[in-house]
Amino acid sequence: MRPRASIRSHLQDALPKIVLAPSFAITIVFVYGFILWTIYLSFTNSKTFPSYAITGARAYQRLWGWTFDTDPPSSWYTSITNMGIFGFLYILICLALGLFLAILLDQKIRGEGMLRPIYLYPMALSFIVTGVAWKWFLDPGLGLEQTLHQWGWSSFHFDWIKNKDFVIYTVVIAGVWQASGFIMAMFLAGLRGIDGEIMKAAQIDGATTFQLYRRIVIPLLRPIFLSAFIVLAHLAIKSYDLVVALTSGGPGGSAWLPSNFMYEYTFKRNEMAVGSASAVIMLMTIVAIIVPYLYSELREKPR
Amino acid sequence: MLRKLLIGTALATSFAFSAHAADVKEVQMLHWWTSGGEAAALNVLKQDLAKEGYAWKDVPVAGGGGDAAMTALKAMVAAGNYPTASQMLGYTVLDYAQAGVMGDLTETAKKEGWDKSVPAALQKFSVYDGKWVAAPVNVHSVNWLWINKAVMDKIGGTEPKTFDEFVALLDKAKAAGVIPLALGGQNWQEATMFDSVVLSTGGPEFYKKAMNDLDDASLKSDTMKKSFDNLAKLVTYVDPNFSGRDWNLATAMVIKGDALVQVMGDWAKGEFHAANKTPGTDFLCYRFPGTDGSVIYNSDMFGMFNVPEDRKAAQIALATATLSKSFQSAFNVVKGSVPARTDVPDTDFDACGKKGIADLKKANEGGTLFGSLAQGYGAPPAVANAYKDVVSKFVHGQIKTSDEAVTELVKAIDDAK
């Protein structure tokens, strides 16, 4: 019986590793392997198919040139400025709105159990569904504008989705609608985790509600801000389907994000090298934002 | 244990062999013709092949649409797992031929006389390095006007023969309170319309030089500027809500009588048919004013891959059936396009189809059959998409003047070459 028990305990020890091994291997190959592969391709002159001879950084030179083509805006310039506008507003509004809703819901109100899923539900939809629904809602000939005209408010005018200068803000609206409920749930969980004793102590010390939130609650929610930021940042950077479903690229390609640029160039225009180069730049941008943030957060932990 | 393993291996091998045997009598086809009319049209081909004892197997493509299919094809070819044939467009065929993965149908082509019956302009894409690598299925042409007859009668319009007459007609519609021009503001639709505008403004010679040969001087010329000005003129006749609209919704506006005319390829006819409209009584098809006698085409092709020897018989059967006169007629009647060979009788076609066939023949003989740049038959995809960008940015106001448009066009095309 003894050797059997030892095999068993060996197995038990090894089990987590065995179970994790496939996903680990898959991640290594399909995430990190292909990141390297993409970087490699960006230095070739790959067109329709990958070509393996390194030919230099021409793809990056072209992207660099396009970065300064502002009038008329090149597709790359449009993509990166849109990324800035969309990323900034999307993350900021989601965080602010999520926190605000969470604080309101945390006031021990009746029917919270019903309200919470209502706010959370949009997150269960795919970006495609969100995009199509908002496309109809914002379409001046079908949705909001048309309805208000029928109700008699004929001077109402809202055509952002058809306007090259404002179309990116409609992407922000749809994105915020989808994600802010989820961010609210994250903050709500954080608020529930705060020790009631601290709050009571502060109140006894005579802190106003505003001071209470400003000085105590929000600083305590710092880890939630980090998680929410990371969730939102990666959603923002990989937003592709939302743009396609909502605007099909916008008038004259004015709603493109870098992910749209990457897909267009790699798969539709057969400029795989340029597509890869743009993907590498996207990755570098994410790394530049996330790594210092993670580093500072993780370093402080042992304190 | 060992015995079990052996049995397992034997079983697996026999499965592999039987699967292989089925392959030989099977046509594996990658395509994105899944909508009602197109699927019905393709059924004709399936039945033709079934008569000869070949089974049809669709290669599934998730997501529909040509882009998804092309991505799937790329993956299959990269893995060495060639389909018998794939639906392909223009330069894609040549790209794959250049990569050396296409089959060779030259013998069949000789036997069937494709060299003589298929228009020379099409052979530019179906023949690579002297070898037939693809079987063209149809010829679409894009320089058409689709007009609602009831609206036309109401405003008392007649067929416009020149661009100025066209503008006058649009003015009449505007005065009558109808949306004059139904356009979907997506870049390919705008560029497709611009193809016709360039041909109309500059004539056949100019179109060929600018849009197929990509001649710098022509692209920069005043004629090109004039073309952009004409496009800007047309865009003033669309409704304010046009941006982002799908082409079939624009067609629906004409069908319902909300709009007078759409400039679109002959696939729009399929929408009219689906709504039970007849040419001549419900709708009218005219050539884009000033382009009569020329045809701007695009074409669907079945690219034939270099499959192993034992699967070649099925491939040849597919290619032969595809270019047979009976299939060409039956398929194109449903699809709205015209046959890819000029010797197919036009008896089964409607009035627009008959005109299309006659026009194609004339254009082929007169050397005025040109590839559509917007549809990827004028230049490789990188250039075609750069062109679509510029046209779309001009339509939507990122590019403000025709001078700027011409400069940008030359720059974008040079960059993409």
Do residues B234 and B201 make contact, with C-beta atoms less than 8 angstroms apart? Answer: no
Tokens (6 digits) for B154: 């109401």
Tokens of A15: 């089990």
Does A289 reside within a domain? yes
Using 50, 70 and 90 to split pLDDT, how confident is the model at B90?
Answer: confident
Share of chain B above pLDDT 90, in %: 68
Q: Which of B143, B144, B173 has its CA nearest to residue B158?
A: B173
What pairs with residue A220 in β-bridges?
Answer: none
DSSP bridge partners of B88: B301
Which has the higher per-residue pLDDT, B89 or B191?
A: B191
Helix axes A167-192, A127-138, angle to 10 degrees: 130
- Amino acid symbol at A89: L
What is the helix, strand, coil percentage profile of chain A, to 5?
75, 0, 25
How many CB atoms lie under 10 A from the CB of residue B21?
11
* Sign (positive or negative) of CA dihedral B121, B126, B128, B130: negative
Q: Is the residue at A7 inside a domain?
A: no
The answer to whether B382 contacts A47, with C-beta atoms less than 8 Å apart, is yes
Query: What would the pLDDT profile of A152-170 be if each residue is shown by its tens digit?
Result: 888 888 888 888 899 999 9
pLDDT band at B63 (very low <50, low <70, confident <90, very high): low
What are the strands, taking DSSP E only, across B127-252? 127-128, 131-132, 134-136, 138-141, 144-148, 179-182
A56 and A45 Cβ atoms separated by less than 8 Å: no
Using the beta-carbon criterion (under 8 Å), do A264 and B244 form an inter-chain contact? no
Q: Do A164 and B398 touch (CB under 8 A)?
A: yes
Task: Quote the minimal CA–CA distance from A63 to chain B in Å.
Answer: 11
Judged by CB atoms within 8 Å, which residues 218-247 of B form the interface with A? 240-244
Q: What is the CATH number of domain B26-140+298-364?
A: 3.40.190.10
The answer to the question of residue A170 being in a domain is: yes
Q: Is B381 on the interface with A (CB under 8 A)?
A: yes
> Partners of B238 in the beta sheet?
B181
Cβ-defined contact of A253 to B392 (cutoff 8 Å)? yes
> Which DSSP string do the residues of B167-178 spell out, in sequence order?
HHHHHHHHHTTS
* Tokens at B379, concatenated: 């230049």
pLDDT of residue B65: 61
User: Is residue A238 one of the residues assigned to a domain?
Assistant: yes
A46 touching chain B per CB within 8 A: no
Asked if residue A232 belongs to a domain, the reply is: yes
Chain B positions in Cβ-Cβ contact with residue A46 (cut-off 8 Å): none
Residue closest to A184 by CA, chosen among A114, A108, A96: A96
- Give residue A213's pLDDT: 87
- Report yes or no on whether pTM surpasses 0.90: no
CATH number for the domain that contains residue A104: 1.10.3720.10
- The ranges of chain B annotated as CATH 3.40.190.10 are 26-140+298-364, 141-297+367-416
Name the helix (H) or strand (E) containing B55. Answer: strand B55-58
Q: Which of A30, A46, A48 is most worth mutating to test chain B (most B CB atoms within 10 A of its CB)?
A: A48
Q: How many CB pairs under 8 A join A and B?
A: 82
Residue A301 has pLDDT above 70, yes or no: no
Instruction: Enter the ipTM.
Output: 0.81
Per-residue pLDDT of A88-145, as tens digits, reads 999 999 999 999 999 998 888 888 888 888 888 888 888 899 999 999 999 888 888 8
Place of tokens 């939507």: B396
CA distance A172 to A236: 10
Report the DSSP pairing between strands B259-263 and B85-89: unpaired
- Tokens standing for residue B36: 């009602």
- CB interface of A with B, residues 263-302, below 8 Å: 264, 267-271
Q: Does A61 touch chain B (CB under 8 A)?
A: no
- Burial of A213 by CB count in 10 Å (0-12 exposed, 13-18 middle, 19+ buried)? middle
Q: Quick check: A269 and B381 CB within 8 A?
A: yes
Binning pLDDT at 50, 70 and 90, where does residue B24 land? confident
Residues A106 and A123: their CA atoms lie apart, in Å, by: 20
Q: Which of B228, B279, B237, B240 is CA-nearest to residue B260?
A: B237
Residue A53 tokens, joined = 């001879």
Mean pLDDT throughout A41-62? 88
Counted domains in chain A: 1
pLDDT at B5: 46
Q: Could you tell me the CA-to-CA distances from B402 to A58, B271, B392 in Å, in that order? A: 30, 34, 13
* Structural domain of A201: 21-300
CB B193 within 8 Å of CB B183:
yes
Q: Which of A62, A72, A247 sits opposite B399 (nearest CB)?
A: A72
User: Other C-beta atoms within 10 Å of A130: how many?
Assistant: 21
Largest Cα–Cα separation, chain A: 87
- Digit-coded pLDDT (tens) for A244-300: 999 888 888 899 999 999 998 988 888 899 999 999 999 998 888 778 877 877 776
Using one digit for the tens of pLDDT, what is the confidence trace for A10-37? 888 888 888 899 999 999 999 999 999 9
d(CA B23, nearest CA chain A) in Å: 27
Instruction: Indicate the class that CATH gives domain B141-297+367-416.
Output: alpha beta
Measured in whole angstroms, the distance separating CA B296 from the mean position of its chain's CA atoms is 10
SS3 A104: helix
